[in-house]
C-alpha cells in the first residue's frame, strides 16, 4: 500500500467509509467519530491528526492496545499510522543523533554566559 500522510490517510478512510460518495462526507452523520473534523483532508488548528487516528483505531478494535498492534485489516489507509506515530518521519527528527544532543546541552548550559557563541560549543562548525 502506498504510504500516505496522516491527513491524506484520514481523507482516504472517509472516502472508503462513505462508499466513494463525496456528498456523504460533506453531510457526515457521525460527528462523534475522531476523524470527523479532519474528513475534508485539511488540517484543523488544535487537532492532531495522528491522535485522531489512534482514537479511531481504539474504537475500531476492542479498545485495547493489543488489538491495535495485532490489527488484521492491512488494507486500511490508517494501518501504517495506527500507533499514533508517522513511520515516514522515523529517524528524521534529530533525536537519535548523539552529537546533536551533546551540542544542545552545551548550548543550553553556556547560553547564560556573556559573549557565548554557538561555534564555541562545537569547534567543528
| Whether residue 75 sits in one domain with residue 101 | no
Query: Can you give the residue range of the structural domain that contains 121?
Result: 91-125
For the entire predicted model, the pTM comes to 0.67
| Whether residue 37 sits in one domain with residue 16 | yes
Flag whether pLDDT at 62 surpasses 80.
no
Alpha-carbon distance of 22 to 66, in angstroms, equals: 33
**pLDDT tens per residue across span 78-97:** 888 888 887 777 766 655 55
The answer to whether position 1 is within a domain reads no
Alpha-carbon distance of 111 to 105, in angstroms, equals: 10
Query: What percent of the chain shows pLDDT beyond 70?
Result: 70
Structure confidence at residue 89 (pLDDT): 76
C-alpha cell of residue 17? 467509509
**pLDDT tens per residue across span 25-51:** 889 988 999 999 998 988 989 998 889
Would you call 94 exposed, middle or buried from its count of C-beta atoms within 10 A (0-12, 13-18, 19+)? exposed
The answer to whether position 33 is within a domain reads yes
Amino acid at each position: 500500500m502506498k504510504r500516505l500522510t496522516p491527513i491524506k490517510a484520514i481523507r482516504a478512510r472517509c472516502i472508503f467509509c462513505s462508499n466513494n460518495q463525496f456528498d456523504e462526507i460533506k453531510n457526515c452523520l457521525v460527528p462523534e467519530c475522531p476523524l470527523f473534523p479532519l474528513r475534508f483532508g485539511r488540517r484543523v488548528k488544535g487537532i492532531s491528526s495522528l491522535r485522531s487516528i489512534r482514537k479511531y483505531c481504539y474504537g475500531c478494535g476492542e479498545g485495547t492496545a493489543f488489538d491495535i498492534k495485532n490489527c488484521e485489516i492491512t488494507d486500511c489507509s490508517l494501518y501504517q499510522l495506527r500507533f499514533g506515530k508517522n513511520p515516514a518521519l522515523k529517524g528524521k527528527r534529530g533525536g537519535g543523533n548523539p552529537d546533536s544532543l551533546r551540542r544542545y546541552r552545551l548550548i543550553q548550559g553556556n547560553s547564560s554566559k556573556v559573549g557565548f557563541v554557538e561555534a564555541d560549543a562545537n569547534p567543528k562548525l
